Structure 1
Amino acid sequence: MKLASYADGSRDGHLVVVSRDLTQAHYATGIATRLQQVLDDWGFIAPQLEDLAVQLNHGKLRHAFAFEPAKCLAPLPRAHGWAVVDAEGGVRREVGGFAAPHQPLRAPAAGEAVLAALTGDLAAASDRASALDALRLLTLALDWRIGGDLVATQCAPVAVTPDELGDGWAAGRLQARLVALHNGAKLEPRDVTAAPGDALARLARLRALRAGQAAGVALGALDLSLAAGDSLHLDLKTAAGQSLFGAIDLDIAPAPSA
């Protein structure tokens, strides 16, 4: 299933279920209103959302509406922690919440694409298999830094369960293509692979993780220079070109006039 959080004036937004093709949505009211509720009680709530998703995908929900990514916050705006594991196994513990997929940056910054994994409760010293069992949802994120300092983390509009990834998910590993447009010009796509279970197990070596913890797998820095007034479109897609999580679309604030 695919889930998103529509902005409603609250800190956490309102949970919606999104169709497989990212065109339709339906409020999850009556089942859960926030994604954190789902992560806290996954075994009870997730099957109900799955049923709603099946009906949505088959066009059987009378009150479905067109999905609008521009109305989304990050799927989980206030995670219980955010840490990124790099290719060498190093861990960077980040601070702050997740920004919306269309929130503009106030200044040019260096960006790094990250596959973000949202977990259920995971005991300390859990192995990779246990970590994969605790993996609930995946999404695309972008860490933005200025001079090495994290200034923002933006998320794609939709978080998905691994079973929604189709051929892009095998043996606990994501395989996808990172596609970017810089000021409307297409950059060279990048094939990426990531094992979020390994990242979760790495974080759980010394301490337990609670439901709502986010672990990132670094997918590499963005090979471009951003300037004031620039725009960026970033998306993770299947080999067939289908968007997995919806795109991150952002603008960098133009330089102030003299």
Structure 2
Amino acid sequence: MKLATLKDGTRDGQLIVVSRDLQTAALADAIVGTLQRALDDWTFYAPQLRDLYDALNQARARNTFAFDAKACMAPLPRAFQWADASSYVNHVELVRRARGAEMPPEFRTDPLMYQGGSDDFIGAKDDIVCASEEYGIDFEAEVAVITGDVPMGARPDQALKSIRLVTLVNDVSLRELIPAELAKGFGFFHSKPATSFAPIAATPDELGGDWREGRVHRPMIVHWNGKKVGQPDAGVDMVFHFGQLIAHAAKTRNLRAGTIVGSGTVSNKDAKRGYCCIAEKRCLEMIEHGAPQTAYMKYGDTVKIDMFDEAGKSIFGSIEQAVAPLEAGAHRASSSQL
């Protein structure tokens, strides 16, 4: 089934069920008000939401309306935890090669992961608001999963069973701020602004045979300023599958329902498949030419991230964003209007 969250003036929005073709939707308020509440008691709410989804696809649901991704928040507008990994080791290797460093062998056996801000996710059509172009604004196209409760010490096979939903992510990075932050030894903070998500979060069965071995085996399609720059397959070269990533996150802590785990930037060894972040393009240029030639995003630039099924239909709806300055009025006030 496919779920989304409608903007309704509150922090957590209104849960809606969306048809498989993303054309129609129905409010889920008679069942459960928000996605987080549904995740908290998934075994109770999921069958009811599934019934509504089936009725919607069979044109039997009442009070339906046209689905509009622009009216949606992130599926989970805020989450208890957002842990992003770097499971496409090719991406990490390129970054290190570009600066003349060897990749430690343990990077292939022990996942890299950081804990990002999860109190202010943004919707698929919301602007990427940044205070300065000098920060090195970059997109990062990723796959993410949303889990139920995961006990501390869960094995990868157990962790896979905790996955409730799958979606796409634009994990925006401010590249010029990263070196100084990492040099402090405490990791990312200012260099990782609000993360944006596709409008749809889908149960894994919606992917059919393209969901296997804890990976999504579909191309990630990325356009920058209207030009296609990447189409790497998300199932290829993903060294750690989502069960392993979730188990890694749960090594020393319980993960509660609504935890989001990201794959990291999708990257293939085959450079002809393009790129899912500008930094990777710049690394390839440094390796080949000795210096980067491609600039980071500027105000007014756009990025579009999508994934299609074999029939050419968007699975999660597209992320389509423009970069905007803080002073342009695009800054979103909190729901309390501070």
TM-score class, shorter-chain normalisation, is over 0.9
d(CA) in 1 for partners of 2:170, 2:55:
32
Deviation (angstroms), 1:99 = 1.0
Residue 200 of structure 1 pairs with residue 246 of structure 2: yes
Deviations 1:236-255 (A, max 9, x none): 22344221211101111269
One-letter amino acid of the structure 1 residue matched with residue 46 of structure 2: A
What is the SS of the residue equivalent to 1:191?
coil
After TM superposition, the structure 1 = structure 2 runs for residues 91-110 of structure 1, keeping only pairs within 5 Å, are 91-96=113-118, 97-107=120-130, 108=133, 109-110=137-138
1:180-191 to 2 correspondences below 5 Å: 180-191=222-233
Per mean C-alpha deviation after superposition, the further-off stretch among 88-97 and 218-227 is 218-227
Equivalent residue runs for 1:1-258 within 5 Å: 1-87=1-87, 88=107, 89-96=111-118, 97-107=120-130, 108=133, 109-146=137-174, 147-148=177-178, 149-193=191-235, 195-220=241-266, 221-223=276-278, 225-253=296-324
- Cα distance in 1 for partners of 2:326, 2:66 equals 35
After TM superposition, the structure 1 stretch with the greater mean CA deviation from structure 2, 150-159 or 88-97, is 88-97
Partners of 1:136 and 1:28 in 2: CA distance: 17
Identity of matched residues, %: 39
Q: Distance in 2 between matches of 1:16 and 1:68?
A: 11
Name the stretch that deviates more: 188-197 or 128-137: 188-197
Q: Which runs of 5+ in 1 are unaligned?
A: none
> Cα offset for 1:256?
7.9
Instruction: Work out which of the two has the higher radius of gyration on C-alpha atoms and give 1 or 2.
Output: 2
Counterpart CA distance in 1 for 2:208 and 2:161 is 18
Larger relative helix fraction: 2
In the alignment, is the contact (CA less than 8 A) between 2:150 and 2:250 conserved in 1?
A: yes
Give the Cα separation in 2 of the matches to 1:161 and 1:41.
Answer: 15
| SS at 1:150 equivalent | coil
Higher alpha-carbon deviation: 1-10 or 240-249: 240-249
- 2:324, 2:156 → 1: CA distance? 42
TM-score, L = length of structure 1 = 0.94
CA displacement 1:163-183 (0-9 Å, x = unmatched): 011121123321111112222
Q: Cα distance 1:105–1:176, how it changes in 2: closer, same or farther (>3 A)?
A: same
Structure 1 counterpart SS, 2:219:
strand
TM-score normalised per structure 2: 0.72
RMSD: 1.8
Match of 1:227, SS state, is: coil
1:133-185, Cα deviation, whole Å (9 max, x unpaired): 11111110111121221012000001010001112112332111111222222
Letter in 2 for 1:157: P
Tell me if the contact between 1:192 and 1:219 (Cα under 8 Å) persists in the aligned partners: no
- SS in structure 2 of the partner of residue 187 of structure 1: strand
Contact 2:117-2:194 at 8 Å conserved across structures: no
State the Cα distance separating 1:57 from its structure 2 match. 0.6
1:145 partner letter: S
Aligned partners of 1:228 and 1:255 also within 8 Å: no
Gaps of 5+ in 2: 88-106, 179-190, 267-275, 282-295, 329-338
